Structure 1
Amino acid sequence: MLTFVGLGLFDEKDISLKGLDAIKNADRVYAEFYTSCLIGTSIEKMERLYSTRIHLLSREDIENNPEWLESAMHEDIVFLTGGDTMVSTTHVDLRIRAHDMGIDTKLIHGASISSAACGLSGLQNYRFGKAATVPYPYISSRGKEVISHTPYDTIRANTIAGLHTMVFLDIDVEKGFMKIPDALEVLLQVEKSRNEGVMKNRLVIGIARAGSEIPAVKCDFAEKLLDFDFGHPLHILLVPASLHFVEAEALVKLAGAPEEILESIEK
């Protein structure tokens, strides 16, 4: 049996009771934190609370060489991930591999940023379109800076369709966790190069450390958030389209948005 357990958003205490029971009854426990990580904890803290050893897996162990998976054919194996367990395509692929090997699988879900961001901001979850990720710019072999236009195109398409956009921020081994102002700089730079107006005078919402006791939630126009300090990671950016009056009121009262946005909303 292979049981996938989502650990939730922030630290080792976010796990569900079902997830904790699965860990305690497992023959072996594995975890990966390259698709998502719990910024408020460590492997050592998790092992103390869960009273078991946790074997940390690399990307190679998951995607290219999952030899450990064979043990689930005759043992109860638990596989831990941050957030909700099946949000990442990598985990869906792993479950399919297990199925093809004749291994039974079970899912124990955890809190996801996809729903938490809606709750913290007040935006309605059914009004979101395709999500996007802002990657760090990089230097090509020709020595030129390369900036992806894909997240900008996604925001543009969602806006035309009247849908909000959830924008994930890059995590790089050398550069670390991308911050909201960094992502906004990238999007505004793309806009300037294309002479378009998707982000100009655009209301955006930045969220940091969702799931912690002191999450940061701030809504303002994109240019004004370039200098806002959201503190420690993880960060995520929301780019709303047109607002329902309840959403607008929530952004003003819960996320510090300018009250002027209420004037343009019809109840």
Structure 2
Amino acid sequence: MVRNLIKRSQALVALATAVRSLPSDARRFGAWLARPKLIRSYLQGRATRKLQIGSGPNLLDGWLNTDYVPTRTGQVYLDATKPFPFPDGTFDYIFSEHVLGEFTYPVGLFMLRECLRVLKPGGRIRLSTPNLENILTLAGPQGAEEIQRSYVRWAVERYLPQVKQCEAAFVLNYFFRGHSLVFVYSPELLTLALTTAGFAGPTFHEPGRSDDATLAGLESHGKIVGEDINRFESMIAEATKPPSPSAHA
């Protein structure tokens, strides 16, 4: 009898844990229920498998487009802060634009490690995220570069029309507090995060450009804010999942 009670208690604990992990929003819950079928449909018979994390309206043809709040037909629910619902070595490519910075550094590392896990050996990841190194130049001598002046003018017009003086300082503060950003990476830190997660050979690229044709022309942020603004504000890194040890045996 005691053994049965223990088993029942363990089952209840497992059930409670599972319930807590369910999406709370009704739309996300519906998407969570539909997810297994959508994933199976995408993966079935597909030679090259490509995962986009946080697609928003940028639905890429031939990709499994996922989002935390799916609002479009075919989008799959994915909470990037939790274990991904894919087996190890599922995908050839992963792409994510302006998602990583929405999490703390430890949670971001978890996301990157999940990306590594679900990539095939030799698979590639492409990430776009705000560039701390560029943004911090706004705190320097005003007017040093035309792109800095353009960025400040654009940000004031878009977000801070009431500001008439000390625009760069207001823009810098708004950047860190007015968006959903939690953690902003420099190129050096993004390189560290990728290699810490297990990726190899990080390289940096201009928006829309890549040595791999599959990863070129994916970004949409520049269509929203303007390509010059995006080049200043964002950085794009690619990295590779190393071959499995058995491949060298």
Q: Do both share a fold (TM > 0.5)? A: no
Determine which structure has the larger helix proportion and give its number.
2
